[in-house]
């Protein structure tokens, strides 16, 4: 097997959930060249995986909003040329959407993906040469690993390995990261709960760091930080830099957001606050200490999060 192309373009959590499949593939095919097609904003994250040889950024989100610009069509043409230039024996689309399947169709090599009963957009399966059945009631990590294993002809091991190497710490002062930003309002925890959690963490001797990703999240971060003495709003930075901050935290508390899964990937002790989604399908999984509070339609107070944190051995 001299070349394998993977297509998992977005979102942030989905990209993290793809990493164990990359580790599996590298372990079973140590000499193969692994290429990963991913949205350009998540490319720094994909490059953190040491088993990946090449990352091909794609900008479908931006292209859709700029179809009238000639530069968009030039970029798309250059992307197609680059994909076609990859000498892959197998192309595996673990995204399972029409847009990702169309990228698979551009590539050379035998195209693998989910069959129509295993996929959110059944039409996508028309683009594959080989279609695999993978139960939809499994966690996203398990589905990615299963599809990859079926495509490449091996059985995945029970242990989940994201393949990430924890970067060196730049500061000895222990800190906790509060991940309040999320893509849907229904997933948001109240500010009073973030503040209550943050104040308790400060009493335990932990600094509190609050990242953000949008202007609205920045404003919210500033409000939360103003109410937590000694806390700090993290400057906006690339994903790989944010990953370094998360990887070296003593604790991460977060709602259902992609960065939460990154904490799980680095085996950082974490408390996941779920409000509107099923943690059994998309919750954090990994080899570190993970506690989920709340659930779909269940609202946990910050006291519940503190109870979970009290059971952990924090590096204070």
Local structure of 221: helix, strand or coil: helix
Question: pTM of the entire structure?
Answer: 0.94
156-186 pLDDT, tens digit per residue, is: 999 999 999 999 887 779 999 999 999 889 9
Domain boundaries of the chain, sorted by first residue: 3-152, 175-310
pLDDT for res 316: 42
Fold of 3-152: Rossmann fold (3.40.50)
Q: Is 277 a residue whose pLDDT tops 60? A: yes
How confident is the prediction for the chain on average, in pLDDT?
94
Closest CA to 210 of 196, 231, 187, 185: 231
Q: Is 314 a residue whose pLDDT tops 80? A: no
Give the end-to-end CA distance of the chain in Å, rounded to a whole number.
48
Going by C-beta distance under 8 Å and a sequence separation of 6 or more, which residues neighbour residue 316? 174, 204, 205, 206, 250
Between CA 128 and CA 111 the distance in angstroms is: 5
pLDDT grade, residue 315 (50/70/90)?
A: low
Same topology for domains 3-152 and 175-310, yes or no?
A: yes
Q: What dotted CATH number matches 175-310? A: 3.40.50.2000
Alpha helical stretches, state H, the chain: 12-28, 43-46, 60-65, 70-85, 98-106, 140-152, 191-203, 215-226, 239-247, 258-265, 279-282, 302-310
Mean per-residue pLDDT for 12-24? 97
84-130 pLDDT, tens digit per residue, is: 999 899 999 999 999 999 999 999 999 999 999 999 999 999 999 99
């Amino acid at each position: 097997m001299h070349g394998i192309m993977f297509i998992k373009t977005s979102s942030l959590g989905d990209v993290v959930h793809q990493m164990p499949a990359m580790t599996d593939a590298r372990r079973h095919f140590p000499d193969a060249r692994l290429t990963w097609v991913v949205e350009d904003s998540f490319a720094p994250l994909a490059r953190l995986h040491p088993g990946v040889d090449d990352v091909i950024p794609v900008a479908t989100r931006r292209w859709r909003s700029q179809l009238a610009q000639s530069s968009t069509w030039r970029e798309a043409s250059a992307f197609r040329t680059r994909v076609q230039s990859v000498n892959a024996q197998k192309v595996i689309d673990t995204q399972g959407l029409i847009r990702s399947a169309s990228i698979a169709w551009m590539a050379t090599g035998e195209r693998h993906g989910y069959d129509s009963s295993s996929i959110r957009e059944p039409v996508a399966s028309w683009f594959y040469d080989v279609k695999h059945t993978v139960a939809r009631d499994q966690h996203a990590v398990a589905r990615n690993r299963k599809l990859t294993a079926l495509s490449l002809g091996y059985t995945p091991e029970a242990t989940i390995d994201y393949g990430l190497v924890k970067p060196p710490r730049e500061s000895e002062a222990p800190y906790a990261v509060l991940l309040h930003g999320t893509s849907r309002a229904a997933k948001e925890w109240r500010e009073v709960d973030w503040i209550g959690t943050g104040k308790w963490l400060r009493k335990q001797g932990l600094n509190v760091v609050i990242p953000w990703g949008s202007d609205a999240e920045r404003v919210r971060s500033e409000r939360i930080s103003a109410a937590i003495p000694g806390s700090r709003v993290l400057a906006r930075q690339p994903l790989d830099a944010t990953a370094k901050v998360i990887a070296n935290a003593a604790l991460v508390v977060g709602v259902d957001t992609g960065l939460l899964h990154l904490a799980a990937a680095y085996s950082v002790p974490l408390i996941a606050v779920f409000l509107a989604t099923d943690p059994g399908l998309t919750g954090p999984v990994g080899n570190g200490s993970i506690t989920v509070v709340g659930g779909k339609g269940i609202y946990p107070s910050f006291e519940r999060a503190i109870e979970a944190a009290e059971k952990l051995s924090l590096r204070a």
